Structure 1
């Protein structure tokens, strides 16, 4: 039964559909594992034993009656705790919302429930989905299952760590300036930040309205495709929602990628930790051996991304939290309070300049995609850090290092797929991201699936 913890949703789905495995049996096994390990790993804020078993029994009854709903029917899923669940506590990882029980469910969660998932619980996150390390002084800091002394990344750290530890089969995330891709990189899993507006953000706690993007996290690209199929689609309740056709993301995943041209921005090759640099160059060489043409591209506008990101995220987050910052400032941890208070000092002139910079970065990406099929870079420039005693300073330092690599994708609204590329000298995962133009998720998943076949987590750097 140990294999069930790490089995893909696709494979589990076939067992469930053929009645070779019971959804109730699978759910009990997963909940028992959460009970055994999560006091240490802290991947869940609110495990949902009763809800999960109720949904598992419903799934079992339907499947037994021949009412199979599709490949996610009966699959155990973790839900990021910034996504509303009606009648179930939704904290956004914050002391402010410790007793918040929504009267509505987020559109994306409703879609997954209608597809028959089993909701294992509400998963831990960096407070208010506004940090990159996974520390949380109120609900416990999530630990990296590869080594609990190291951070899992954030803000969707609970989801990524639960997948790495076999505490969920799939997980939902959100990405405002890297919050799906950063923990995917640090935990050695796969994460997709979709095109902005492809997946509804209705009834998801906002971090920065114009950047917030909801997406899937999984242990395989095929599972990401299954999740995105359900999660994507127009929602009239979300003003940013895109009214576009949703293709079959699982179709042609094996499509040959030979002949694709991938651009590597020179900006993404700067200031890399040694092991990240080595593993990324090895990955580029592997892609060449798969028939991909690699082309160096220069996008000087990326230099503006950090300013535009800070001004946009800080300004929009401070606007949403304005009243709480005035009346409950003590309920924010020091790193988040500093970030949001700094955002409250951003003037209209600076915010407008940031949006003008965004437009120039968008135009620069459009020019680049006129020359290449997609872009490629390290997900983050740093090796997964060990937790430091001064976690407040560390959190701010980590955001400063990673933002130039992750936030351009949010500022432009394009999709990006984070994949592992190997283990550093300490045995911690390292990742890279394929970046596509708008609505190229299907192509990203195809190249990601091809990449997955090289078994990247078997690639290791030894400390010479």
Structure 2
């Protein structure tokens, strides 16, 4: 089978069970694609020996008629997930050389279900970024290019390695994390499907922390079915994480067969932001029509506190980051400065050399808003507004089942285009941060191409722990959009 890497995760799963292809063949096909795609810089670390070893073990289980739901399927793992014995850097120099002696709960779940690890995917440093340009290991390049153009574009961030690898067929699917849109925004910019589940649906144990009350793991995949299969394996209660909720994990794949007829879809007027490209407006209106044609009821809703979401996020997230990143001191693991006078200067030099500019910026902002004299004015007030945003969503979900919005305010932009202006970069999260602040599930589904031939996505938000209804809506959008476009493989 020459086109193994072109199979969706679901098709590969079925082919492996039917013994039409072996896990080792699939793994070799992906490793060959990774080797050819070095120009994309999607992987920080490739683990070929480990991958082949895991694939052979899967083939042995499949030969006996055994195996889990993901048996033999090769995956890419965002380098924020600790993987036992394999380098885990979080895209930062300060964790250079760190090999965790333990496995994150999410990746342990995937290995339990038979998945194969191809390697660790590039990302914005400590997941802080919207373009995958803050990584110590260099930017990831989007496999998509503008029609007739050859300039390098961003794959989105922070899960840019995950989105680029899935779009370029370097893995069957990938893990990712979302703190303010880091699954949905890169999925939108690469024509892939990204799912941020409800806060607490997936364990955060063993995931390098950015902002603990916002971080959540989820999948980036080629289509909605693949995302459903991935999430079922990734999710679950975990005694090692007090925020992981103890409730059954539904069969998300089964939810795809449900009819969307009768679902009430909320369309929030506040998401029509000033200066939004006409193409985003058009694809959003198209999404409304698609769901209406599928038998859904369209309801205009108001979420007036939306305008405060970005400022609240950029107070809460840096505050939590400044606390979480205090542990990186060069003493116990990772990078340590070579020249220093005493213990204090060792801390200072290590952190100055080990953290990139964006991480330093957020640590400074976070420390400032938590400091005496500013805590009440900034952090406490932001938390109060956050609760109001949650209450506003609760009220809206009393009237609707799902909320439809654009995923991003634009298609993929050029690398370097927004790095000089952090505020412009932060505006990429304008449609996604509300879901993190309110702990809601959200997903991006590819909906079409813009005039330059670049993908655009639509976002669905659902009630907490109602991912099943969200998947039903996603399947309806996917079917109506009929998105089959792929990037031309210019990279090799």
TM-score using structure 1 length: 0.95
Please report how far the alpha carbon of residue 239 of structure 1 lies from its aligned counterpart in structure 2 after TM superposition: 1.4
The verdict on how the C-alpha distance between 1:2 and 1:353 changes in structure 2, with shifts beyond 3 A counting, is farther
Give CA deviations for 1:194-219 in whole Å, capped at 9, x if unaligned: 00011001010011000110111101
Query: What residue is the counterpart of 1:362 in the other structure?
Result: 390
Query: What residue is the counterpart of 2:273 in the other structure?
Result: 270
Query: What residue is the counterpart of 1:18 in the other structure?
Result: 18
Query: What residue is the counterpart of 1:30 in the other structure?
Result: 30
Question: Is the CA contact (8 Å cut-off) linking 1:24 and 1:57 kept in structure 2?
Answer: yes
Equivalent position to 1:414, from 433, 437, 440: 440
SS at match of 2:236: coil
CA distance in 2, matches of 1:306, 1:211: 13
Task: Tell me: higher relative CO, structure 1 or 2? Use CA pairs within 8 A at least 6 residues apart.
Answer: 2
Equivalent position to 1:170, from 170, 173, 176: 173
The farther-off stretch of 407-416 and 221-230 is 221-230
Equivalent position to 1:388, from 409, 416, 429: 416
Please report how far the alpha carbon of residue 172 of structure 1 lies from its aligned counterpart in structure 2 after TM superposition: 0.3
CA distance in 1, matches of 2:435, 2:282: 23
Please report how far the alpha carbon of residue 324 of structure 1 lies from its aligned counterpart in structure 2 after TM superposition: 4.5
**1:176-215 superposed matches below 5 A:** 176-215=179-218
Residue 82 in 1 paired to residue 109 in 2? no
CA distance in 1, matches of 2:12, 2:481: 20
Please report how far the alpha carbon of residue 49 of structure 1 lies from its aligned counterpart in structure 2 after TM superposition: 0.3
Equivalent position to 1:427, from 453, 470, 473: 453
Residue 161 in 1 paired to residue 184 in 2? no
Equivalent position to 1:239, from 228, 242, 245: 242
Question: Is the CA contact (8 Å cut-off) linking 1:335 and 1:393 kept in structure 2?
Answer: no
Question: Is the CA contact (8 Å cut-off) linking 1:273 and 1:383 kept in structure 2?
Answer: no
**How many residues in Structure 1 have an aligned counterpart in Structure 2?**
456
Residue 442 in 1 paired to residue 465 in 2? no
CA distance in 2, matches of 1:105, 1:429: 34
Provide the alpha-carbon RMSD of the alignment. Answer: 1.7
Question: Is the CA contact (8 Å cut-off) linking 1:84 and 1:102 kept in structure 2?
Answer: yes
**1:48-447 superposed matches below 5 A:** 48-70=47-69, 72-147=70-145, 149-271=152-274, 272-322=276-326, 324=328, 327=348, 328-347=351-370, 348-349=375-376, 350-388=378-416, 392-394=419-421, 396-399=423-426, 401-447=427-473
CA distance in 2, matches of 1:125, 1:136: 8
CA distance in 2, matches of 1:459, 1:367: 38
CA distance in 1, matches of 2:137, 2:115: 25
The verdict on how the C-alpha distance between 1:459 and 1:16 changes in structure 2, with shifts beyond 3 A counting, is closer
The verdict on how the C-alpha distance between 1:394 and 1:144 changes in structure 2, with shifts beyond 3 A counting, is farther
Please report how far the alpha carbon of residue 376 of structure 1 lies from its aligned counterpart in structure 2 after TM superposition: 1.1
SS at match of 1:438: coil
CA distance in 1, matches of 2:472, 2:422: 34
Question: Is the CA contact (8 Å cut-off) linking 1:421 and 1:459 kept in structure 2?
Answer: no
* Displacement over 4 Å in runs of 4+: 323-326
CA distance in 2, matches of 1:439, 1:108: 18
The verdict on how the C-alpha distance between 1:221 and 1:339 changes in structure 2, with shifts beyond 3 A counting, is same
The farther-off stretch of 209-218 and 297-306 is 297-306
CA distance in 1, matches of 2:76, 2:259: 32
Please report how far the alpha carbon of residue 448 of structure 1 lies from its aligned counterpart in structure 2 after TM superposition: 0.8
Please report how far the alpha carbon of residue 300 of structure 1 lies from its aligned counterpart in structure 2 after TM superposition: 1.0
Question: Is the CA contact (8 Å cut-off) linking 2:185 and 2:429 kept in structure 1?
Answer: no
CA distance in 2, matches of 1:207, 1:182: 17
CA distance in 2, matches of 1:364, 1:338: 31
SS at match of 2:33: helix
Question: Is the CA contact (8 Å cut-off) linking 1:388 and 1:394 kept in structure 2?
Answer: no
SS at match of 1:321: helix
Please report how far the alpha carbon of residue 68 of structure 1 lies from its aligned counterpart in structure 2 after TM superposition: 2.5
Give CA deviations for 1:152-185 in whole Å, capped at 9, x if unaligned: 0001110111010000101001000001001000
CA distance in 2, matches of 1:459, 1:282: 18
Give CA deviations for 1:364-407 in whole Å, capped at 9, x if unaligned: 00000001111110111122211236x532554221x1233111
SS at match of 2:443: strand
The verdict on how the C-alpha distance between 1:95 and 1:447 changes in structure 2, with shifts beyond 3 A counting, is same
Question: Is the CA contact (8 Å cut-off) linking 1:81 and 1:90 kept in structure 2?
Answer: yes
CA distance in 2, matches of 1:459, 1:324: 43
